[in-house]
Structures are given as structure tokens and as C-alpha cells.
Structure 1
């Protein structure tokens, strides 16, 4: 992995970490954080491995401030799965409309909640109670993901295009033909 790509991943991890801390500590918005969206965008543009790396880094770094616990590994698992899936989507699709990405990010919010409920449900044997009581928070996560995707994707995509063209790190024949907007 090139130094430029490592630097980009470090900056994205810092952005995800600060965003998660800011929205959970300062604004007190439950489950509204840019981590899922940034992992999706990173996976789509850089690949599945980089999406998983960003998921691991941002989870560990933000949990150093917000608190580590039994939820840390399931969070890494959830965001890692999101990064892996979005990386595979980005690897095989050249043009993805923003509304499809917004819909995918909403489903990722609900999927995150489902996997977290499954892990907690196996610990306490109360899956349905945990899952149903968390649906409102999953909805906050999904709506937050949509807002972050619509806001961040156009800006970050331009930066990714410049980065990938400059360093010739893309598998696309021409980034000019990639129309994500």
C-alpha cells in the first residue's frame, strides 16, 4: 500500500472519529454519525480492504474516547461488513446514482442495528426485545446515513477522483466515465 493511500485512510479515519465523537457527545444525537457513510464511500472508491481498514481504525479510535466495551468487536464486525460490501459494489459497478447510494446507506444503518442486536441477543437471549426496542435508533442511523451520503459523497468523490487520477491507483479505465452524481 502506497504512502499516499495510507495518508488518505488516516485522514478519513480521523474525520470519521471526530464526526462520531462530535455527533454523539456534543449534539447528543443517538446513532447519528458519519462513520457508516465514510466507510461506504471509502469502500466504493478505494476497495473492500480499505473499507474494512477504515472501519477498524475509526471504531477503535472513537471508542478510545467514547469507551471500549463488549460492543467494540460487534461494531468492528458491522462496519467491516459494510466496508466489504461497499468495496465489492464499487469494484464491479462504475456508475452508481446518488439515490442508490443513499438507499444503500439507509439499509446499512438497519443492517448495522440487526447485527448488533444479533450479537447482544446471543449474549442475553433476548434478541427480539433488544431488536424491536432499537428500531427507532436504527431509523435515526438510517436517516443520518442518507443525509451524510447526500452531503458528503459529491464532495469526497471529487477528492477521490483527483487522488486516484494523480496517483494512478484506479482499476477503472477512465475516471471521467464514472458518473456517480
Structure 2
């Protein structure tokens, strides 16, 4: 009996996304300000990915923004901005069994930004740029697991390496694009999002 690994891989992706979303939501209720910032940033990222996804291939000005969202606003906001980006943009680029895996990858990009903030509180744009460059390749390696399980036979280390090698040039384009966008726009983006983050945290006291 032939095992349908593609089906199992898709189910694993869906279950993983559901668990991550549930876990992030249970950390504490999202307030109205957090929901609004997630909606705005996810819409911007999805629009940037959908518009440039076809014309510029993998040179998309979005992954660095997801990473910086996590860096400024924390793991929950970073994860939800990242996870919603492919879910929304794929309505224009094409939904499929790859979508849950993309949601996991983009969500982890947002979380990684928050992790960097915890480990290196004073990290600058150079650190974020290096991380974003690495994610260009790491994203491809993770998504290759989905492609390998769905399209390759037999499922061996050799066939995975061949799958990864076939997409290495595209991963390199993504990594270089991330590098360029983060170098050009990263510092200013951090300043803008940090400004709005401070505005969101202002508490207005009622007069006694």
C-alpha cells in the first residue's frame, strides 16, 4: 500500500499552524490595539508579497517587515503578522497545500525577530539584516520539505538534497532581496514601528 505522504505533510502543516495559533492566543488576550496593528502590518506584507511576487520573483519587500514586527512588538504580533501574510496573499497568488507550511515559516520569521530582541536587546539593523538573509535560505529549506514529501519518490536524503539544490538559486535571490531591503529600509522601519509602539502603550487616566 502506497503511503500518501503529501496528504500527511499537509495535515501536519495545518495541525502545526492551529497549535501555534492556539498557543500564541492563550498567552493572553490580544487587545484592540494589537489586533489593529496585526491587521495593518499583515495587509501591508500581503500586498507587498502579492504585487511583487510575480514581477520580481523572490525579491519581495515583506520578510524583513515581518521580522521587524516581531522585533518591535514581540513574538505574538510577529507570529500573527507572519502567518497571515501568506494566507492573505495566496488568495491572489494561489492557495494550496503549501499554504500552511508557508504560514509556519513566515510566523517563525516573526518569532525570530522577538527572540533576537530578547537575546540582544540593543541589536541594530545589522543583526536584523543578517537574520533576514539567513531566513532567505532557511525558508527555502523548510518549504523544500513540503515539496520533497509531495513530489519526490523515494523519500531519501539524496532526493531531499536534490530538491534543495534545485531551488538554491531561488533561495539565493530571496536571501539577497531580504538583505537589500533590510539594509535600505530596516533602520527607518524600526524607528517608525517603535514610535507607534510607544504611542500604543500610552495610558490615559480618567480625571479623579
Task: Name the TM tier (shorter chain).
Answer: 0.7 to 0.9
1:66 pairs with 2:99? no
- The aligned runs of 1:80-99 (5 Å cut-off) are 80-99=107-126
Q: Extract unaligned runs of 5+ from structure 1.
A: 170-181
Report the TM-score when normalising by structure 2: 0.75
Corresponding residue of 2:37:
8
Corresponding residue of 2:61:
34
Report the TM-score when normalising by structure 1: 0.85
Distance 1:52 1:6 in 2: 12
Aligned residue-pair number: 167
Q: Verify the 8 A CA contact 1:118 1:127 in the aligned structure 2.
A: yes
Shift of 1:49: 1.2
Shift of 1:55: 1.2
Q: Verify the 8 A CA contact 1:47 1:91 in the aligned structure 2.
A: no
Shift of 1:152: 2.5
Shift of 1:93: 2.4
Shift of 1:132: 0.1
Q: Verify the 8 A CA contact 1:120 1:127 in the aligned structure 2.
A: no
Corresponding residue of 2:78:
51
- Give 1:115's match in structure 2, choosing from 142, 150, 173: 142
1:20 pairs with 2:54? no
Q: Extract unaligned runs of 5+ from structure 2.
A: 1-29, 203-208
- Give 2:195's match in structure 1, choosing from 138, 162, 165: 162
Q: Verify the 8 A CA contact 1:78 1:112 in the aligned structure 2.
A: yes
Distance 2:59 2:99 in 1: 17
Task: Report which of the two structures shows the higher radius of gyration computed on alpha carbons.
Answer: 2
CA-based RMSD of the aligned residues comes to 1.6
Corresponding residue of 2:172:
139
